[in-house]
Each structure stands twice: as C-alpha cells, then as structure tokens.
Amino acid sequence: MTEFRINRRDLMRRLGAGGLALSASSLLGAGAVISQEARVLRIRNDGDIRRLDPATRGGWYDETVMFAIFSGLVRYAPGEKWAIELDAAESLDDSDPLNIAFTLRPGIMFTGGYGELTAEDVKFSYERFLDPAVDAVYGSDWGALAEVEVTGKYSGIIHLSRPFAPLFTSTMPHASGLILSKAALEGSGEAVIGTDPLACSGPYQLAEWRPREMIRLTRNPGWTGPVPYYDEIQLLPIADLTSAETAFDAGDLDVTQIAVNSIPVRNPAADKLVVKPALAYTWLGMNVENETLSDIRVRRAIQQAIDVQEVVEATFGGAVTPAFGLVPPPLLGARDADLYPFDPAATKALLAEAGAEGLTLTLSFGADPDLMIAAQVIQAQLAAVGITLQIRSMDSATLTAQQQDNAGGSYKEVELFFTTFTTAPDPSWVTEWFTCSQVGVWNFQRTCSEDWDAKNAAAAEETDPAVRNQMYIELQDALEETGAYVFLYHGVNAWVAGPKVTPAYSADAQWALLRDFTGA
Amino acid sequence: MTDASLAVPRSRRPSLGQSGAILRRLASSPAGAISLGFILLLFAVAIFAPLVAPFDPIAIAPRDRMQPPSAVHWLGTDQLGRDVLSRLIFGTRTALQVALAGTGGAFLVGMCLGMVSGLGPKWIDSLLVLLNDSLKALPLILFALALVSIYGPSMVTLGVIITLSMAPGYFRVVRNQVLVLRNADYVVAAQAMGASWLRQSMTHLLPNLIGPILVLIAMDIPAVIGIESGLSFLGQGVQPPNASWGTMLSEGYAYLRQAPHIALTAGAPIVLATIAFTFFGEALRDALDPRGAGDRR
C-alpha cells in the first residue's frame, strides 16, 4: 500500500503547476476571445442626444448619430470638398429643377419590424416638414416643397413650387433629407421623434442610450448598403474639449475633436491630425433697440474701434484668420473685405459727433475660453478710444432667454454680445437668421428691413451661381451698413484619431461620418 | 472703605501680557510660525502690489502670448501676453480683499445677530435660529450662482455671497458663547448694576468671545479664498481684466497642454494660502487654549 504523503514543498510545487496550467488555459481562452472581439470605435460626441428628428433635431450631437442610423436619398461624401453621393436612392434625376425624380434601392429594412423603406416613407418624411403639428425648426429647408408624388413602391417625384438652390447643398444631403418610417412614427402616436429613433434605416441602429454617459450604436441587420467597418460605435458625450483630449491621450477615446489651441502641440502624423476650415461664423452683435446703441454713429464707432486681426491673432495665435462677413469662405457669397475696417480716428470723431464720449457698455456671451480672450482684447481696444467695456460671461441659455424675452422687455438691456452660429454648405443657411421674422428669435441685433428680406428670399431662389454670389455679398454689405455687426472669425475644426483608426469627416470636419470610419 | 465682596467680578479680557504669551506660543510652534510668516508675506505682497509687480497686470501684448518663464517674465506670460507674476501678485490682493471683506462682513452680521439671539427674548432667539439654520441649509454653489445670475458677477455680489454663506457659523458660535457667558458672575453683576445690552455685549461678552472668533476667522479665510477662486473659475466671480487666482486657473486650464505654467502658477497660491491659513488657525487655537492642545493632538 502506498502511503499518501505530501510535504509543504510538494504542495507548493503542485499548486504552482496547477496555477501555471490555469493561467495558460485562461490566456489561450483570452486569445480566442480576442480573435473574435468586435470592432468597437470610441468617439467623443459634443453633447448628448436630444431630438433625433430631422425636422426638430438639436445640434451636431444629434446629427452625428442621425447620419449613422438613418438614410437619405443622398448624403455628404467624406473628403476635402462638399460632394454628395447616392444613399438610399438608386438613381436621382435633377435635370428639371422643379421636379426631381428618384428611385430607391430595394431591400433597405427598417429596424423594429417596420418593413422595407419605400417611396411612401420618403413622401411622409419630407412633407411632414410642412405639417404645423410637427412645428419643424428646419421647416425652411423644405419651404419650396409642393409635394412628393409616389409613382411606385420605390419611385417618386419631388415637386417644388419654385426653384430652390439649397436643395442639393443643404437640404437633401443634410439631416433634413433623412428618411423616417411612416409606420413607426404614426404608430407611436407622436408627431415628432425624441431620443428613441423608433425605426432605423441606416447602417447602424441605436442599441443603447445611457444619458450623459454613452450612446451605443450597433450594426443594423436590415441594412443592405456598403457594410460599415465597425461592429459597434460608442459615442461618449463630452462637452469640454480639454477633457476629451485628455481622455484621448489616456486611451479612453479613439477619436476626438480638439481645441484650436491644441493644434500646435499635436503631432500631425502620429495623431492623425485633421484641421479644416469650419462652416461657422462668430461675430460681435449690437442690439439696435438698446437705448445707448440706437444711434448708428455709436454703433459705427464701435465697429471701427475693433481691430479684428489683433482679436483673432490673440485668440488663436495664427491658426484662424479673420472673417470679412458671415458667409464662410468655402461657400458662395463669401466676402473678402470689410466696408468699415479698424479706424480709431474715425471712432473718436463719431463718438464726439454723437456726444457719446466716456461710454460704458457691457459685452455678454456664453462662457467660452476663446470668446473670453476675444472679449478682453476688445475691452483693451475700446478702452483705447475711451469706451469702458464690462465683460459678462454667463450661461449661454440664460443670455439667449434674455435676448428672446420679447414680452418682458429685458432684451433691451443687452448691449453688445458675441454669437457663434454654424451652418450647412449653402449661404441661405447663413442669412436666414437675420430677417425681420427672426427679430427676437435668433436675430438679436434686431435689425429689420423688408427690402433685405425680399432680397434674401430672392437669393435662395437664384440658380445662377455668379448672380447668387453677388446677391449674398450685397446682403452682408447691408448688414454691415446697419453698424450692428462686427464679423470676427469662422474658426477651424480639428480632430485627432488613434493609430488603429482611419477617420472620415465631412468637408468642414464638423461631423464625424461614422459609417465611413475604417481600421488602419 | 470699599467692600471687596461687593466689587463687580472682572471679565476675563485678554491683557497685553496675555497677547504676548499667545504670540510666543504661536511662534514656538513650527507650523504656526511658518504659516504666520507666509500669511504676513501674502499681506505684504497684497499691500505693496503696485510696487512689487514688474508689469501692468492688465496690459495685453498678444505677440508675447504664452511665453515660458524667462529672465524678463519670471513666471512667463498668459494667453494675452500678460505677465503671469504681476497678475499673481494682484490676484493676491484680490483674494485677500475678498477674504477679509467676506469674513469681516460675516463676522459682523453673525456677531450682532448672535448677541441679540443670546441676550434677547426667547421668541427672537427661536426666530433667528430658524433663519440661521435655513440659510445654512442652502447649497452654497447653487445659492451663489442664483445670486450671481440675478445681480451679475461683481466684487460686491461676491462679498454678499460670502457674508451670507459664512455668517451662520459666526452666529452659532457667538450665540452659544453668549448663552454660557450671560450667567457668569461678572455679567450678572453688570446686569444688576443696570448695564445696557450694548454695554454688556461690548464690555463683558465680546472680549471673551474674541478667541474662538479669531480661530474661526482664520479657518474661514481659506474657505472664502476657495469660494472666490471657484466662482471666478466658473466665470462668475472677479471679472476681467482684474486678476484673480481663480480666473487665472480657469484661463490656464484651457491652455494646460501648451502653457502649463499658467495653471500651475495660479493653482499654487490657492493651495499654499489654504494650507497656511488652516495651519495658522489650528496653531492659534492651540495658542489660545494651550490646555486643550494636547487633547487634540
């Protein structure tokens, strides 16, 4: 009989061998898991989703997700130039500018069992912009739409009541051109979509939304178009660019937008740095209904007291160039000079003429580090001509609420303010906020001219690019003539990406086109 | 002839000799001596800021933006080309102005109400305690942001916020001390001799409260510096172009990668001043009550 005896050394040896075997097996197991691991992209979103409805969407934070989970007839192609390509449409005939015929690719399925994407869905999606119950924020995108005629299961004709130049630049390829499921939305009993897209028609579907934490997209099994590279995309809502950049450097993000001031310190090759001129415009506005600023000579004096070149240089250190208007340079209608450039002598003369020496004014704006720098430079420039400028950096929603307080009248107290708007690649998107109907809505300068409004409407209908270009230049000239605008800069968009990612952005790099991202 | 038994008992007012002893005890503690030295240095810098600052703290020079520390600019320049050292020096002045005005205001309000509460009728005491507890229950940051959004960011708003948020602490200490001291022989005797409330408060009660109050002030100053810096960091405190440690930290944060010296040099005085005032407060407490010091260690 063999006596079973084991000493401490044997025990340790056997435990060690067992542990080694366990470790090896777990490593092998892990290897097997790694080989089957899903391709996951982690990317910063500039905010959390709010409204995934093409007609009432919020901002880029919504649109980035919407471009991945919905299809349009056409879409923006990734790359250096603004180009469009077919998406859900198999063909599109725009030879008649008032009647655009389309044919859909058969077989695109909505998620949630809502069936195939058909011409009825296209009709429903575009005509609902005109439905008062929807109260479309972007209703003007389809303002020229007469109707969408369904000619077959997959075919139809978009009938316009008048020529509409932005149709193929900022309506159909943009989020206003995305197609929803008629059955899903009507079945929901709601007029608009919130944060639940109901039914997705794009390459991805919204798999999970953890508010303020993560938006998780997974492949849409019913998608029949080009297969996207990533199995899963995790969008992390991080508003602060510095925090996002820190997360990128820590390896918690694969891709993120970065602040303009970070551009010089990034390694362009290693960080896959992409910097593109932004379709944005930042300006200093003056409230013409404010008592102090009601005199155009005072406004003109302020216009000519500001050296925009110095403001932009101090704010961005050469990474951004000054603006000469509202329309960003890549677009038709961009200006190349100001009518009333920096002229401190003229300022002093105007102030003396208006009897407004020793003015004290307040510049209000939503908290932003770049705007804070710009404000302090302007503060110094105005001090040089005898104007005391108080800086009021505040919550942007609070400022907007005051500017929109038409009933209470507190908007009159707002004097100077900074505003930044972004735009789609068509100048009509830039100018539509400065009409009389926008006074107290988004036109916080409160400049109003029916003649200007008529010219603005005519410019949207003009299809000759040269004529249209001149019309938009004149529209901006007229705004500058009011004295209520000092155009500052358009800015740039900058992104960095990790070594395993090949990113894809819109031509201005405002949107990450998620479905076009691939591996390195 | 004077009957000694009828003499009014004297209050325990600290004499000049006692003050000297307190100072000696304070200086004998290393933490107390170092923190006192640092605080005196801060006050000197704040008082003589225009003389010691090498540059105008608000003069911008965009071409010199974000320069690293050099022989000309010892702590470099900020995003507008302003000398960081000069802004730091004037920021010290801002921090101490706000701290002294805020704690001074809180002390005055808390002391007056605490005296009234402790010496007045029961219903006034109950009402003031209720108001005090209600004020103390308000979340500081929300309360501060609400006031700033109504009245706008300014030094005055900042002072009001700090006074209102700190006064409950002084009220409670003063009231509790008064409730204890009002039954002391010398106070009862003063009452018997017809001394008014004001005389009782100023002559007999206040001198005996001053020790704990001084400790409380020393301990509150770092909190006030934190509030000022925090609100300025959020853009709701000291407004440009005035220099403030919090504003500098906030602006430096945006350039942490390109020019870390801005945020680092703005953060350092906040930390050092907070530590110094806290250590000073603890050392002062030990110096005023040396018998309890051993128990606390």
Within 8 A of B66 by CB-CB distance, chain A residues are 317
- Beta-carbon separation of B65 and A391 below 8 A: no
- Beta-carbon separation of B240 and A376 below 8 A: yes
pLDDT at res. A394: 82
Q: Does A137 touch chain B (CB under 8 A)?
A: no
Rounded to the nearest integer, the mean pLDDT of chain B is 86
| Structure confidence by residue, pLDDT tens digits, B51-85 | 999 999 999 998 898 999 999 999 999 999 999 99
Q: Does A369 touch chain B (CB under 8 A)?
A: yes
Phi, psi (5° rounding) for residue A41? -110, 125
Q: Does B242 touch chain A (CB under 8 A)?
A: no
Best probe of the B interface among A373, A382, A395, by most B CBs < 10 A, is: A373
pLDDT at res. A317: 84
High-pLDDT (> 90) share of chain B, %: 49
pLDDT at res. B290: 60
What number is the average pLDDT over the span A58-65?
A: 93
Among all residues of chain B, which has the CA nearest to that of A380? B60
Return the HEC string of B1-65.
Answer: CCCHHHCCCCCCCCCHHHHHHHHHHHHHCHHHHHHHHHHHHHHHHHHCHHHHCCCCCCCCCHHHC
Phi, psi (5° rounding) for residue A12? -65, -40
Coil, helix or strand for B155?
A: helix
| Structure confidence by residue, pLDDT tens digits, A146-196 | 999 999 999 999 999 999 999 999 999 999 999 999 999 999 999 999 999
- Beta-carbon separation of A367 and B235 below 8 A: yes
| Structure confidence by residue, pLDDT tens digits, A450-477 | 999 999 999 999 989 999 999 999 999 9
pLDDT at res. A452: 98
pLDDT at res. A57: 95
Highest mean pLDDT among A155-159, B194-198, B205-209: A155-159
Greater confidence (A448 vs B62) lies with A448
pLDDT at res. B16: 53
Region for B245 from its dihedrals, namely left if φ exceeds 0, alpha if ψ lies in -120 to 50, beta otherwise: alpha
What number is the average pLDDT over the span B180-198?
A: 85
The dihedral formed by the CA atoms of A317, A320, A326 and A327, expressed in degrees to the nearest 10: 170
- Beta-carbon separation of B79 and A373 below 8 A: yes
Q: Between A242, A377, A391, which is nearest B80 by CB? A: A377
Best probe of the B interface among A241, A263, A368, A393, by most B CBs < 10 A, is: A393
Q: Residues, chain B, total?
A: 297
Q: Between B60, B253, B255, which is nearest A380 by CB? A: B60
Within 8 A of B60 by CB-CB distance, chain A residues are 314, 376-377, 380
pTM: 0.78
Does the structure show a pLDDT above 50 at B297?
A: no
CB atoms within 10 A of CB A329: 15
High-pLDDT (> 90) share of chain A, %: 85
Distance from CA of B39 to the nearest CA of A (A): 32
pLDDT at res. B237: 86
> Residue B101 is encoded by which pair of tokens?
């005005």
- Beta-carbon separation of A369 and B251 below 8 A: yes
What number is the average pLDDT over the span A65-78?
A: 97
What number is the average pLDDT over the span B240-253?
A: 90
Q: What domains can be seen in chain A, in order of their start residue?
A: 8-27+37-240+493-519 (3.40.190.10), 280-490 (3.10.105.10)
Among all residues of chain B, which has the CA nearest to that of A241? B254
CA–CA dist A167, A485 (Å, integer) = 29
> Residue B164 is encoded by which pair of tokens?
């209102």
Does the structure show a pLDDT above 50 at B5?
A: no
| Structure confidence by residue, pLDDT tens digits, A340-380 | 999 999 999 999 999 999 999 999 999 888 899 999 999 99
Does the structure show a pLDDT above 60 at B178?
A: yes
| Structure confidence by residue, pLDDT tens digits, A83-122 | 999 999 999 999 999 999 999 999 999 999 999 999 999 9
| Structure confidence by residue, pLDDT tens digits, A266-280 | 999 999 999 999 999
Q: Between B60, B235, B255, which is nearest A376 by CB? A: B60
In our burial notation (b when 16+ CB lie closer than 10 A, e otherwise), range B17-50 reads eeeeebeebbeebebbeebbebbeebeebbeebe
What number is the average pLDDT over the span A115-144?
A: 96
**Cis amide bond preceding B212, omega within 30:** no
Q: Does A376 touch chain B (CB under 8 A)?
A: yes
CA–CA dist B294, B289 (Å, integer) = 10
Q: Report which of A92, A95, A74 is spatially closest to residue A83, judged by C-alpha positions.
A: A74
pLDDT at res. A13: 47
A-B contacts at Cβ under 8 angstroms: 64
Q: What domains can be seen in chain B, in order of their start residue?
A: 27-296 (1.10.3720.10)
Q: Does B43 touch chain A (CB under 8 A)?
A: no
Within 8 A of A308 by CB-CB distance, chain B residues are none
**Portion 129-168 of B in contact with A at CB < 8 A:** 149, 152-153
| Structure confidence by residue, pLDDT tens digits, A24-36 | 444 444 444 444 5
- Beta-carbon separation of B60 and A317 below 8 A: no
Pairing of β A280-286 and β A485-489: antiparallel
Residue A231 buriedness (CB in 10 A; 0-12 / 13-18 / 19+): middle
CA–CA dist B91, B65 (Å, integer) = 19
pLDDT at res. B151: 83
Does the structure show a pLDDT above 50 at A243?
A: yes
As for the ipTM of the complex, it is 0.72
**Portion 240-269 of A in contact with B at CB < 8 A:** 242, 245, 259, 261-262, 264-265
Greater confidence (B239 vs B262) lies with B262
Q: Report which of A164, A134, A120 is spatially closest to residue A146, judged by C-alpha positions.
A: A164
Does the structure show a pLDDT above 80 at A3?
A: no
Helix-helix angle B84-119:B245-253, to 10 degrees: 130
Answer for the pair B91, B145: CB distance below 8 angstroms, yes or no.
Answer: no
- Beta-carbon separation of A393 and B65 below 8 A: no
pLDDT at res. B8: 46
Within 8 A of A319 by CB-CB distance, chain B residues are none
Rounded to the nearest integer, the mean pLDDT of chain A is 92
Highest mean pLDDT among A151-160, B2-11, B243-252: A151-160
Q: Does A313 touch chain B (CB under 8 A)?
A: yes
- Beta-carbon separation of A373 and B239 below 8 A: no
pLDDT at res. A32: 43
> Residue A316 is encoded by which pair of tokens?
């961005």
CA–CA dist A45, A64 (Å, integer) = 8
pLDDT at res. A174: 97
